[in-house]
Amino acid sequence: RCEKELACLENLAFNGMKSNTIILRPNLLRKALNEEKVSLRDHPHILNMGVLKSFNKQGVNTQIETDKEHYFVHLSFQEYFAARYLIKALKDSSTHQEEIKFIQREKYNQRYALVFTFLSGLSSEADTNICLNIFWELILRPPIDLLGIRHMQLVISCLEETSNQSTIPQYTLLMEWIAKCIKHNLSTENQIIRECLVQSLRRAPSVINNQRIINVFTHLLQNNDSNIRGEALSYIPIIDSSNLPAALIKLVALSLEDEDHLVRFYACHALGDIGQKLATNEVITKLLSALEDKSEWIRKNACKALETVGEKAATSEVITKLVRTLEDESYSVRSHACQVLGKMGEKAATNEVITRLVSKFKDEDSSVISSASEALRNIGEKAATTEVITKLVSALEDESYIVRLRAFDVLVQIGEKAATNEVITKLARVLEIDSQWVSSWAYGALEEIGERAAANVVITKLLSALENESVYVRSSACTALGNIGQKLATNEVITKLFSALEDKSKWVRSSACDALGKIGKKAATNVVITKLVSALEAASYSVRSYGCQVLVKIGEKAATNEVITKLVSVLEAECYYVRLDACQVIVKIGEKAVTNEVINKLVSALEHESKWMRYLACRTLGEIGEKVATNEVITKLINTLEDECKNVRARACQALVEIGEKAATNEVIIKLASALEDKSKWVRSNACEALGKMGEKAATNAVITRVVRALKDESECVRLSPCDALRKIREKATTIKLVIDSEYKSIRVILSAFEALGKMGKKAASNEVITEIVIALGDKSDEVRESACKALVKIGEKAATNAVITELVRTLEDEFENVRASACEALGKMGEKAATSVVITKLLSALENKSEWIRENACKALEKVGEKAATNEVITKLVSALEDESLCVRSSACDALGKMGDTAAANEIITKLVSALEGKSRRCTLSACKALGKMGEKVATNDVITKLVSIRDALWGLSPTAARAIDNILPSSARMIDFSPILVSKLCACETSLECVRNILPAELIRKFFDTQDADWLLSAIEITLKRHAAVAINEDKLMVYDSGEPIELRVPNFKLRNELIKAFTNKAKALHLSFGISSNLEN
């Protein structure tokens, strides 16, 4: 009924694929309609069948569907309809020669992989075998992939999709060819073919389960070579276990007794992947025998295999064997045995298993303990039987506290299933055990067991524990009550906890406070709030104070009018600490507490007769912050800067800072500047800090002058503050002379000043400042000299005066290592201005210093002074430094040589480094590799790459360091093909994967062969074709290269080169058993 519509979609899909476009333009739609003789008037539903969607790229509102662009709702729809189009061409091949040629030409094009997969399936569903025969003739006739890897993938995928495989022409030969490929490539070390085979066969279950293929594995498992037997076993997991013949399973099981431990290892792995479907008694028996293998790997993998088999293996014999394995000498085997028992569920819930698993809580290895806990949890969750629970409850009284802890953990995980009266009673009794860890886990267990733990027996036990003579028991009882939570928010519990606020032990009072806070957070009920309000009126200072602390923990939920009113009254309490706690509540419970009444109370308190009340008011207003930033509050705080109490004045300074930018008014800044002359050192210090935080708004000459004057303050704590303040005031302060002289007597102040200069960086580079730093380089204190160097490091090139450089050169001979190292670093920051012969000579001497740090900084300095340092002497010294015992020095020397490679001395450096590659020292060789790698493409010569590729590593083949250097030197394949074909072949054959090799294309190398007529290029071309899983096919005088993108067509210059190429590729295919020698019935 929809033949016309389908024909149009098929035409559109195919021509869209040919045009390599997902977006189907209007001309493609019109072409499909015309060729299939379809009119939208007669078939209006053709474009809205749910397969196509339209959109108008230009955004023009048009109702003409043929003027819109379309696309298939999913690419697989387009691929399927394109395959349907080709099926029609196969049915009438005489009139569709263009489509026949398309199949021949594009069969190795990855973009059409799914199209040919669909085509294979559709061809077997056609009315006759004509389509099937023609399709396979086209697949198997030339042009054929000369190497064969892409051809093998195509054949396997097409075989898999053919419903009636016996009707495929030459089907038997095809399966024999695949079998030979498997047999040969399992006996070689070529990983590329093996990976391709695994990928293809994993997606082709009907092919892998073919009897011929099964026979191959059967024979391979009986091979005399243990490596081949092991490789064959590694393939077993990809075979559909439901179709595995009994004989093959038996061979796999027998492999558990193989003399080679790797074969036994793969056998365990294979049986584990086969799983419970084919877990026969014989297989399970063999796995049990493997639990006694001398190899730890085998025993561990036997456990894993039994775990995969699951409950089917849960026989009494298996469980007994696993219980015995819990005593294995290997902690890994013991751990896995625990895991297997945990997966066996109810059948493993025996007295013996549980007893032995509990005993593993005392194992010396933590992973075994964890696995035993997990196993008991799993058993408990699946079968929370009386026996399991009873054993765990008994463990709660074990003499080992670790056993008790783990028992609690398991009960916690089992959860409410374990919430029996016996368990809860035991847990409650544990609260009396005077052991911190055990009790805390008991509380956790009660909490996790949930609401049922809030039974009367538990509550009664916990409440009575509040009167225990042990401080720890009383404290722990409070914690437990808090953890169980809102179900305990009864009048009796809350009353008892409030009583505990008066306990003689601070620890108990704190725990009661925490418990009330937790209960209040979960259930801020009227009962809780009423009790807290009453607590604020209590006669006991302790109760009032802790009542406030509970309110802090509850937070915003406690912000009721009644609470806030009481807090206001508490602000007038006699006890300072109670008032302090009330203020903390106001700050913590949020905006609701910051009422006008509260603010007015705090403002009034700024004039309270008690200095501590005034101090507290300043502190609270500051902590509330911007919310109180009114003119009235700021004015009051300004007035408080003249308070008679120094602590109040200091706290007022801090409060103005915390209120934020709204407090940064001229009046405030002037007052703070005046406070710099306060008689209290703490006020002066806080005023300095406050001005610093106000930033550039405080950057007036009058303020800066006062801040600088503070550098000479008699108090060290005051002298430390101006340095940071000047940095924060920024640009206007950077030109102020920071006086660093003998008047300051305190080294801490000088160091702080230099730190401030460092933070200012280049902005601090005034003549006055630099002069002072030069003077400081001669200071008698090594800390001052080091700090002066560090300040110069931060200032950088702007400090590069002759006087500075001269002084730094002198400092290179300082008696202290840290000073010398910092001087090296500072000279490096001076750049080319420091590249004098004197400086370079001194830095070269520093390369031989005993200090690793100095040698490293000398390398860095030579790197940064630029081209003038790239002399033969310097290069020689840096190459010698590549052999330094310190990794940091070697790395810095590499960086220096790499940087100097940009200079005119590049050839000299390259020559020295290439010579170093052949040195006796392995360390020097690898460092030279790194240096050459940093120099990049400029060292991309045949000689350099040849030397690098010859640097081998015992484990990796090509040294990883050399490999990284090669990749840095050869960022593009274009540079590679400029080398000799032998070198390129070596690079392609490297064991270590090279990025530059992955980027080179087979077509580039084949083109190079055609251009040079040098057959050595074919070696590289074949190797790269293999690595990229590409295909190369010849059609008359044209060569097609099928790589990751569209096919590349190359014209073969002559028959000699054509035959030479075919011979080289086909010989390699034969060597790999990829050559497919089936003749076609159709002529070429």
Give 910-961 as a DSSP string: HHHHHHHHTSS-HHHHHHHHHHHHHHGGGG--HHHHHHHHT-EETTTEE-HH
Q: Which two tokens stand for residue 6?
A: 């389908």
Q: Give me the pLDDT at residue 17, please.
A: 92
| pLDDT of 383 above 60 | no
Q: Give me the pLDDT at residue 461, please.
A: 74
pLDDT tens across 732-777, in order? 444 444 444 434 444 455 555 555 555 555 555 567 677 777 887 8
| pLDDT of 225 above 60 | yes
Residue 439: pLDDT band (50, 70, 90) is: low
Q: Give me the pLDDT at residue 1059, please.
A: 93
Q: Give me the pLDDT at residue 443, please.
A: 52
Q: Which two tokens stand for residue 974?
A: 């274009």
Taking residue 399's Cβ as centre, other Cβ atoms within 10 Å add up to 6
Q: Which residues of 172-197 are buried (b: 16+ CB within 10 A; e: fewer)?
A: eebbebbbebbbebbbeeeeebbebb
| pLDDT of 628 above 80 | no
Q: Give me the pLDDT at residue 689, please.
A: 77
Regarding predicted confidence, which is higher, 128 or 888? 888
pLDDT tens across 72-100, in order? 999 999 999 999 999 988 888 777 888 99
3-class SS string, 457-515: HHHHHHHHHCCCCCHHHHHHHHHHHHHHCHHHCCHHHHHHHHHHCCCCCHHHHHHHHHH
| pLDDT of 35 above 80 | yes
Residue 115: pLDDT band (50, 70, 90) is: very high
| pLDDT of 447 above 70 | no
| pLDDT of 33 above 60 | yes
Q: What value does the mean pLDDT take over residues 656-672?
A: 79
By three-state DSSP, how is residue 953 classified? Answer: strand
Dist. CA 52–CA 33, nearest whole Å: 14
Q: Give me the pLDDT at residue 1016, please.
A: 92
Which phi and psi angles does 952 have, rounded to 5°? -105, 160
Q: Give me the pLDDT at residue 387, please.
A: 66
Q: Which of 486-495, 508-517, 810-819 has the lowest mean pLDDT?
A: 486-495
Residue 144: pLDDT band (50, 70, 90) is: very high
From 143, 112, 21, 156, select the one nearest 1041 (Cα to Cα).
Answer: 143
Residue 139: its H or E element: helix 130-140
Q: What value does the mean pLDDT take over residues 240-244?
A: 64
Dist. CA 284–CA 146, nearest whole Å: 47
| pLDDT of 295 above 70 | yes
Q: Which residue has 């002074």 as its token pair? A: 865
Dist. CA 912–CA 870, nearest whole Å: 13
Q: What value does the mean pLDDT take over residues 1031-1055?
A: 91
Per DSSP, 1044 falls in state: S
Question: Is residue 587 within 8 Å of residue 554, measured between CB atoms?
Answer: no
Q: Give me the pLDDT at residue 1012, please.
A: 93
Q: Give me the pLDDT at residue 1056, please.
A: 93
**Cis omega (within 30 of 0) on the bond before 143?**
yes
Q: Which of 9-18, 144-153, 218-227, 1039-1048 has the lowest mean pLDDT?
A: 218-227
Dist. CA 297–CA 300, nearest whole Å: 5
Dist. CA 571–CA 333, nearest whole Å: 66
Distance of CA 386 to the CA centre of its chain: 45
Q: Which of 76-85, 451-460, 507-516, 932-941 has the lowest mean pLDDT?
A: 451-460
> Chain-wide mean pLDDT for the chain?
79
Q: What value does the mean pLDDT take over residues 379-394?
A: 67
Q: Give me the pLDDT at residue 840, please.
A: 84
Note the pTM of the prediction, 2 decimals: 0.63
Q: Give me the pLDDT at residue 58, please.
A: 56
Q: Which two tokens stand for residue 749?
A: 């102040």
| pLDDT of 619 above 80 | yes
Residue 699: pLDDT band (50, 70, 90) is: low
Question: Strand 1038-1042 relative to strand 1048-1051: parallel, antiparallel, unpaired?
Answer: antiparallel
Regarding predicted confidence, which is higher, 729 or 406? 406
Q: Which two tokens stand for residue 528?
A: 């809780």
Q: Give me the pLDDT at residue 867, please.
A: 67
Q: Which of 280-284, 425-429, 652-656, 861-865 has the lowest mean pLDDT?
A: 425-429
Question: Is residue 625 within 8 Å of residue 599, measured between CB atoms?
Answer: no
pLDDT tens across 309-358, in order? 777 777 888 889 999 999 999 999 999 999 988 888 777 878 888 888 88
Q: Give me the pLDDT at residue 873, please.
A: 83
Q: Which of 142-151, 503-512, 860-869 has the lowest mean pLDDT?
A: 860-869
Regarding predicted confidence, which is higher, 250 or 948? 948
Q: Give me the pLDDT at residue 110, please.
A: 93
| pLDDT of 803 above 80 | yes
